[in-house]
Amino acid sequence: MKRFRFRALVTLDMPTIKSSERQYASGARGLMVHARRIDQPSCDKYFPATIAEEYGLPLRPGKRAVVTITVVDDQAPAYFSPGQAFTLWGQCGGHGVVTRRVFTDFGPS
């Protein structure tokens, strides 16, 4: 399977239980990205993902952050394109929108 990277603007949901301010390290694993297929909105899929904040800062609930999302799935381009909304599932919930796909010197990532 191929690895795909996307830039996105995300916001983590605030926790339902009041506790000390929780942070999530940049490069967090164990999150799932839930998205709808671009050409068939009735089809949706969950993708295991790694999410890294633009400057390596921790992700904080309630704060917007520019991130790079990495998924390993050949079907990812059918679900993620600029303007596509998605939700986050895992240790924390949240939502976001894809801003662009990341390319490398060797072609699409």
Whether 108 maps to a domain, the answer reads no
Domain of 46, CATH number, reads: 2.40.30.10
Name which of 4, 31, 3, 8 is nearest 84 in CA terms: 8
The pair of three-digit structure tokens given for residue 42, joined into one six-digit string: 């009735």
Whether 61 maps to a domain, the answer reads yes
Whether 109 maps to a domain, the answer reads no
- Digit-by-digit pLDDT tens for the chain (109 residues) are 889 999 999 998 887 666 555 666 677 667 899 999 999 989 999 999 999 998 888 888 888 999 999 999 999 999 999 999 999 987 678 999 999 999 755 555 5
Whether 69 maps to a domain, the answer reads yes
Strand partners, 95: 11, 87
Task: State how many domains the chain has.
Answer: 1
Range of the domain at 84: 3-103
